[in-house]
Amino acid sequence: MTTATPAPGPVPPMPEYTPKALRAAIAAHAPALLADFDSSWRVQIADAYDIGPVPAFMARWWGEYALARDPALDRHVADLEARAAEATDAEAARKLLEDASRIRHELRTLEPGE
pLDDT tens digits, one per residue of 55-100: 999 999 999 999 999 999 999 999 999 999 999 999 999 999 999 9
Give the pLDDT of residue 47. Answer: 74
Asked if residue 13 is part of any domain, the answer here is no
Q: Answer for the pair 68, 33: CB distance below 8 angstroms, yes or no.
A: yes
Model pTM score: 0.84
Q: What does the pLDDT read at residue 8?
A: 56
In a domain, 6, yes or no: no
Per residue in 5-54, pLDDT tens?
Answer: 444 579 999 999 999 999 999 999 999 999 999 999 999 998 778 888 99
User: So what's the pLDDT on residue 50?
Assistant: 83
24 by DSSP, 3-state: which? helix
Domain span holding position 25: 19-107
pLDDT at 49: 81
- 12 located within any domain: no
9 lies in a domain? no
- Closest among 16, 55, 15 to 68, alpha carbons compared: 15
Q: Tell me if 5 is assigned to some domain.
A: no
Position 60 in a domain: yes
